[in-house]
Structure 1
Amino acid sequence: MTVNETVIAMIRPKPGLDLVAGEPAEDAAAARACVAAPDGIGAITS
């Protein structure tokens, strides 16, 4: 499962911010943080 999590973390696309319009503020903030994050794996739990 760790290998699967690593692969998913590497290929995970960045969310479209227009898709979170109208969602709760926490969800929009999480999407903005994901878009602003540098490319790469990062933490598996993220």
Structure 2
Amino acid sequence: MYGPLWRALPGPWPVKLILLLVLLAAVFLLLMEVVFPWVSTMMPYNDVAV
């Protein structure tokens, strides 16, 4: 999985490394700001009955 991604990025390896870090940060931000809050509303742990 990582090999094709590495080969698809343009430039020499320092540029690829910077692009990969930016891409990973963008995915992390997307997960934290959009995906996880959306999934959290559908989880049953908010419906607590004792």
Larger CA Rg, structure 1 vs 2: 2
Is TM more than 0.5 here? no
State the TM-score, normalizing by the size of structure 1: 0.35
The structure richer in helix per residue is 2
Structure having greater relative contact order (Cα 8 Å, sep ≥ 6): 1
